[in-house]
Structure 1
Amino acid sequence: MNRRTVLASTIGIMGGIAGCLTSPENNQDGQGGSQNSVTDESHDCPEIAYFQAYLHPEHPHEREVYDAEDDDFMSYDNISELLSKAGEEYSEEPQDEIDENSPTLLAQVSDNSISRGDELNEELNQKIGDGVYVEHEDVVYFIEYRLEVC
Structure 2
Amino acid sequence: MLVHDAIFPIRGKHDLGQSDTNNFGGSRGHGGQDMFAACGTPLVAERPGVVQFEATQDRAGNYVVLQDATGQSYAYVHMRDRALVKKGARVQAGQRIGYVGETGRASGCHLHFEMWTAPGWYSGGDAVDPLPELRRWDSFS
**TM-score interval, smaller chain:** under 0.3
The structure having more radius of gyration, on CA atoms, is 1
* TM-score normalised per structure 1: 0.23
Q: Quick check: which one's strand share is greater?
A: 2
* TM-score normalised per structure 2: 0.23
Q: Quick check: which one's helix share is greater?
A: 1
